[in-house]
Amino acid sequence: MRRATLPRFGGGRTRATLASESTRNRTKHGSEPVTRKPEDHAPRTWYRPTGHEISIFEHAFALRQPVLLKGPTGCGKSRFVEHMAEKLDRPLVTVACHDDTSATDLLGRYLVKGGETVWQDGPVTRAVREGAILYLDEVAEARADVVVVLHPLADFRRRIYVDRLGTELVPPDGFMLVASFNPGYQHRLKEMKPSTRQRFLSISFDYPDPAVEAEIVANESGVERRVADKLVKLCVKLRKLDALGLAEIPSTRLLVETARLMHAGVPPRIACQAALIEPLSDDRDTVRGLAEAVALFF
Ligand SMILES: Nc1ncnc2c1ncn2[C@@H]1O[C@H](COP(=O)(O)OP(=O)(O)OP(=O)(O)O)[C@@H](O)[C@H]1O
Ligand SMILES: [Mg+2]
């Protein structure tokens, strides 16, 4: 795997590696450098950048390079994609991948309607035709043989063969393939094939620094900044409590939900119990340990 020669951005939380350079500097006309800059639109969906993810994504869009977003649950991956789709003024088509997802589910099927057989596009085919951003959420959940069907879309070929239609579809310029992946999820039982991973430029996400996370919590919930700061401090402590043996550490999503309850008038300890503690564990001792930690802050 070669490191990409991406523009210099300085330090930051997100890291980018360009796994496959086969499409770099390639346009549909040949191999002249890409000069097209994405137009900037004002996104409705708020997203607080935490590294260089916006710039990397914009470069990937301009270079027609697929992007893989790696990171734990509730750290802002889906929010980021929504924000970027609006920023780049592209429709967003999201597919929640699971192990029953079939190539037919993705590409489309013939249906009988009123005695007639009609073709119905699947989400991938629709996104390709519309020049949308196609977001394959939790791509590792889909069976590897299904994901392989998408490989021609994810490399220099940039096209997809829909065998039931006997047609090859070539997406317009605005099309982009994005996938998300939680590397720690299910104890790595579900991994992506290297031949899939290496077709994607990758951006790592993680829970942000406390000050940034408090800004997100305050902005998303409406609680005062000092309350958001306290919640984040509590969360930083919980994330370090290995002894609790949590399967997943508390996410930014859980903090936002807890803060929303507080903002709605629910007393802090009850809000923490319902939105932070209970979603993290069913084990009585662990729940008690978490409640003790909460009591130190609220
Ligand atoms: N950088 C951020 N800017 C704005 N909001 C954020 C950010 N990070 C997290 N959030 C908040 O956290 C919530 C959860 O984020 P999101 O749904 O994007 O997580 P995710 O990484 O897609 O998780 P999953 O892997 O479980 O799907 C968002 O709805 C938003 O309120
Ligand atoms: Mg998500």
Cβ atoms of 176 and 81 closer than 8 Å: no
Please give the Cα distance from 256 to 219 (Å, whole number).
9
Sign of the four-CA dihedral 232, 85, 179, 9: negative
Give the ligand whose atoms come closest to the C-alpha of residue 141: 1
Q: Ligand 1: which residue has its CA nearest to atom 19?
A: 74
Which ligand 1 atom lies nearest to the CA of residue 50? 1
SS3 92: strand
Claim to verify: residue 46 and residue 162 sit in the same structural domain: yes
Verify that 200 and 250 share a domain, yes or no: no
Task: Say if ligand 1 is within 6 A of residue 75 CB.
Answer: yes
pTM of the prediction?
0.86
Which own/partner contact pairs does 267-271 have at CB distance under 8 Å and 24+ positions apart? 268/298, 269/294, 269/295, 269/298
Residues 170 and 270 reside in one and the same domain: no
Contacts of 1 (CB under 8 A, 6+ apart): 17, 19, 198
Residue 135 CA to ligand 2 center (angstroms) comes to 10
Nearest to 16 by CA among 74, 60, 56: 56
Give domain status of residue 59, yes or no. yes
Distance, CA 73 to ligand 2 centroid (Å)? 7
Choosing from 204, 224, 250, the residue where a domain stops is 204
Residue 45 CB–ligand 1 contact under 6 Å: no
Q: How many CB atoms lie within 10 A of CB 114?
A: 5
CA of 80 relative to ligand 1 center, distance in Å:
8
> If you take atom 24 of ligand 1, which residue's CA is the nearest one?
73
Whether 74 lines ligand 1, by a CB cut-off of 6 Å, is yes
6 domain residue, yes or no: no
User: What pLDDT was estimated at residue 243?
Assistant: 73
Please tell me the predicted confidence (pLDDT) of residue 186: 53
Ligand 2 center to residue 77 CA distance, Å? 6
220 lines ligand 1 (CB under 6 A): yes
Integer Cα distance of 263 and 258 in angstroms: 9
Q: Is residue 265 part of a domain?
A: yes
If asked whether residues 81 and 182 sit together in one domain, one would say yes
Q: Which residue is closest in CA terms to ligand 1's atom 23?
A: 74
Do 82 and 50 reside in the same domain of the chain? yes
Residue 5 lies in a domain: no
pLDDT of res. 19: 34
pLDDT digits (tens, 9 = 90+) for 261-288: 999 999 999 999 999 999 999 999 999 9
14 lines ligand 1 (CB under 6 A): no
- Same structural domain, 179 and 82: yes
Domain membership of residue 25 (yes or no) is yes
What is the whole-number distance in angstroms between the Cα of residue 180 and the centre of ligand 2? 8
Rounded to the nearest whole angstrom, what is the distance from the C-alpha of residue 284 to the centroid of ligand 1? 28
Report the CATH number at residue 177. 3.40.50.300
Whole-angstrom distance, CA of residue 230 vs CA of residue 289: 18
207 in Cβ contact with 252 (< 8 Å) = yes
Structural domain count, the chain: 2
* Residues whose beta carbons lie less than 5 angstroms from ion ligand 2: 78
Domain final residue, candidates 204, 234, 268? 204
Residue with the smallest CA separation from ligand 1 atom 7 is: 76
In this structure, are 38 and 180 located in the same domain?
Answer: yes
Please check whether residues 199 and 238 belong to one and the same domain.
no
Q: Which atom of ligand 1 is nearest to the CA of 48?
A: 3
Burial 126-163 (b: 16+ CB within 10 A, else e): bbbebebbbbbbbbbbbeeebbebbeebbbeebebebe
Residue 11 counted as domain residue: no
Whether residue 8 is contained in a domain is answered as no
Provide the residue count of the chain: 298
| C-alpha of 64 from chain center | 18
Residue identifier of the C-alpha nearest atom 13 of ligand 1:
253
Evaluate whether residue 2 is within a structural domain: no
Tell me if 77 CB under 6 Å of ligand 1. yes
DSSP string, 191-246: ---HHHHTTSEEEE-----HHHHHHHHHHHH---HHHHHHHHHHHHHHHH-GGG--
pLDDT of residue 39: 56
Q: Could you read off the pLDDT tens digit of each residue along the chain, which spans 298 residues?
A: 334 334 444 333 333 333 333 333 333 333 333 434 445 678 899 999 999 999 999 999 999 999 999 999 999 999 999 999 999 999 999 999 999 999 999 999 999 999 999 999 999 999 999 999 999 999 999 988 899 999 999 999 999 999 999 999 999 999 999 999 988 765 555 678 899 989 999 999 999 999 999 999 999 999 999 999 999 999 999 998 877 778 889 999 999 999 999 999 999 999 999 999 999 999 999 999 999 999 999 9
**Residues 200, 101 share a domain:** yes
Residues 169 and 237 in one domain: no
Read off the tokens for 259: 């803060």
pLDDT digits (tens, 9 = 90+) for 70-84: 999 999 999 999 999
Residue with tokens 């999201």: 94
Please check whether residues 53 and 74 belong to one and the same domain: yes
The pLDDT score that the predictor gives to residue 247 is 81
* Cβ–ligand 1 contact at 50 (below 6 Å): yes
Do 123 and 50 share a structural domain? Answer: yes
Tokens of 291: 């409640």
Domain extent at residue 24 = 16-204
Of the residues 146, 170, 204, which one is the last residue of a structural domain? 204
Does residue 204 line the site of ligand 1, with CB under 6 A? no
Report the pLDDT value the prediction gives residue 248, as an integer from 0 to 100.
84
> Cβ(130)–Cβ(185) under 8 Å?
no
